[in-house]
Amino acid sequence: MRLSRYFLPILKETPKEAEIVSHRLMLRAGMIRQQSAGIYSWLPLGLKVLEKVGAIVREEQNRAGAIEILMPTIQAADLWRESGRYDDYGKEMLRIVDRHERDMLYGPTNEEMVTDIFRTAVRSYRDLPLNLYHIQWKFRDEVRPRFGVMRGREFLMKDAYSFDLDAEGARRSYNKMFVAYLRTFARLGLTAIPMKADSGPIGGDMTHEFIVLASTGESEVYCDRDLLDMPVPAVDIDFDGDLDPVVKSFTSRYAATEEMHDADVFGALPGERQVTARGIEVGHIFYFGTKYSEPMGAKVAGPDGAERPVHMGSYGIGVSRLVAGLIEASHDDAGIIWPESVAPFDVGIVNLKPGDAATDAACEDILARLEAAGRDVLYDDTEGRAGAKFATMDLIGLPWQVIVGPKGVADGTVELKRRATGERHSLPIDQVLARLSGA
């Protein structure tokens, strides 16, 4: 992509309404634009990251056996009256009356709707286990939306819902999502620690929040240092096998949010293993038994022929929030530092002298060859000072920059800069191409 034909509205000044670094950088890098309080447009650069995050979430859900559907954003209030949540939900629910005076709402979550889909389609334990997920926009009418897409009103979420015959089956489904989440966050370049969450009236040990450590995190968290280096299950892990040992290797070590923290247990760890840090919640998995299946009549016949309500769990990942979380976890004073897996482009090319025939030709050649190798490239072919171009490239945080100027081109060299470290080397063009094409 040529920058001259792209839409990348960089802001020169730091927007003063932005309180946290990810919000500031997303606005400055032209990733998003606020349309109303807590409601954003995703501009081209931001949308590319959002799509890449979503694609990794999707791949790992599919790998774990979950099946993708897409439920609508607008729901009938009557469905929520069946579970009793329509009256309970409070002002965060965006309530709507349609032209025929029917009560509707913009879904903040989809337990009721997916239970409705299930109950009309599934009758027998033979069709279980089943896990249906979607990646869809949700709305929560926060009283004070803030922190950009970290706590927006309209937000993109992956929510999965598992259906099993009994609690034992539900645990297997829960373990699959637990492992899928470990893999998902690792692929995003994040260290996300599963921390036991409050299971409320349901009770039990089957609810975890996944927390990314970042110095700018929203809340204090505590964990065993061992968790920072735990190996994440490999791509060929057998999701039909026994996942309990993997899950236990994580859950048997201390990890707690402020809410669930037990200072005595934490204090009993050897001092060097006591990690206190700031954290950002990026996922939440939750077993809730028959809470919805019972009132909504989502039953299957068991092997004995008797009908019983299914055991359910739900599994959320905040996809739009993750984009901000990634920036909170990886940035410096100059801007964003994207992990390669979700970078909006793999490589940026900076033409230091557009209009100079040899420099232009070298840039075009590098662009064509990197694209032929399957790299996604942003080529800054615009007029402008070198300093401003460097600042933009650092701000938008592409993993690699290729800096092309007339002097180097005369010698057959360009500069290769690695964004994460700032290292810059003058290298022969072919060497740069070989390195970036093989990546």
CA distances from 66 to 60, 69, 132, 306 (A): 9, 10, 6, 27
Q: Which is nearer to a second copy, 82 or 415 (CB)?
A: 82
Chain centroid to Cα 267, Å, comes to 32
* Contact pattern for a second copy over residues 152 through 171, marking x by CB under 8 A: -xx-----------------
Q: Is 289 helix (H, G, I), strand (E, B) or coil?
A: strand
Q: Which is nearer to a second copy, 97 or 268 (CB)?
A: 97
Q: Which is nearer to a second copy, 79 or 377 (CB)?
A: 79
Q: How far is the CB of 332 from a second copy (least distance, A)?
A: 26
* Sequence-ordered strand ranges (E) for 319-422: 331-332, 335-336, 347-351, 377-380, 400-404, 413-418
Q: How far is the CB of 80 from a second copy (least distance, A)?
A: 12
Q: How far apart are CA 151 and CA 32, in angstroms?
A: 14
Q: Which is nearer to a second copy, 239 or 390 (CB)?
A: 239
Interaction of residue 388 with a second copy, rule CB under 8 A? no
Candidates 87-95, 260-268, 339-347, 353-361 — which segment interacts with a second copy by CB under 8 A? Answer: 87-95
Interaction of residue 70 with a second copy, rule CB under 8 A? yes
- Per CB under 8 A, the list member of 13, 36, 101, 238 interacting with a second copy is 36
Interaction of residue 69 with a second copy, rule CB under 8 A? yes
- Per CB under 8 A, the list member of 14, 84, 91, 430 interacting with a second copy is 91
End-to-end alpha carbon distance in the chain? 19
Query: Which residue matches tokens 């290729």?
Result: 402
- Per CB under 8 A, the list member of 16, 101, 143, 372 interacting with a second copy is 143
CB 357 within 8 A of CB 410: no
Q: How far is the CB of 437 from a second copy (least distance, A)?
A: 22
Q: How many beta carbons lie within 10 A of that of residue 35, not counting itself?
A: 10
Pick from 239, 233, 186: nearest CA to 212: 186
Q: Is 414 helix (H, G, I), strand (E, B) or coil?
A: strand
Interaction of residue 122 with a second copy, rule CB under 8 A? yes
Cis bond leading into 129, ω under 30°?
Answer: yes
Q: How far apart are CA 207 and CA 160, in angstroms?
A: 14
Pick from 101, 102, 99, 36: nearest CA to 75: 102
Q: How far is the CB of 216 from a second copy (least distance, A)?
A: 25
Q: Which is nearer to a second copy, 137 or 422 (CB)?
A: 137
Interaction of residue 83 with a second copy, rule CB under 8 A? no
Q: Which residues of 98-110 are buried (b: 16+ CB within 10 A; e: fewer)?
A: eeeeeebbbbbbb
Interaction of residue 39 with a second copy, rule CB under 8 A? yes
CB 208 within 8 A of CB 287: no
Interaction of residue 137 with a second copy, rule CB under 8 A? yes
Q: Which is nearer to a second copy, 67 or 235 (CB)?
A: 67
Q: How far is the CB of 266 from a second copy (least distance, A)?
A: 39
Diameter of the chain measured on Cα atoms? 81
Q: Which is nearer to a second copy, 297 or 412 (CB)?
A: 297
Pick from 410, 413, 391, 387: nearest CA to 402: 413
- Per CB under 8 A, the list member of 71, 269, 420, 439 interacting with a second copy is 71
CB 350 within 8 A of CB 389: yes
Interaction of residue 89 with a second copy, rule CB under 8 A? no
- Per CB under 8 A, the list member of 76, 167, 237, 391 interacting with a second copy is 76
Q: Is 323 helix (H, G, I), strand (E, B) or coil?
A: helix
Q: How far is the CB of 377 from a second copy (least distance, A)?
A: 15
Q: How far is the CB of 96 from a second copy (least distance, A)?
A: 5
Q: Which is nearer to a second copy, 199 or 382 (CB)?
A: 382
Interaction of residue 33 with a second copy, rule CB under 8 A? yes
- Per CB under 8 A, the list member of 28, 52, 86, 106 interacting with a second copy is 106
Q: Which is nearer to a second copy, 9 or 267 (CB)?
A: 9
User: With CB under 8 A, what is the number of residues at the site for a second copy?
Assistant: 51
Q: How far apart are CA 420 and CA 400, in angstroms?
A: 9
Pick from 340, 339, 346, 315: nearest CA to 325: 339
Interaction of residue 117 with a second copy, rule CB under 8 A? yes
- Cα dihedral 230, 235, 236, 237 sign: positive
Footprint on this chain of a second copy (rule: CB under 8 A): 5-7, 9, 30, 33, 35-36, 39-44, 47, 50, 65, 67-76, 79, 91-92, 94, 96, 98-99, 102, 104, 106, 113, 116-117, 120-122, 130, 132, 137, 139, 141, 143, 153-154
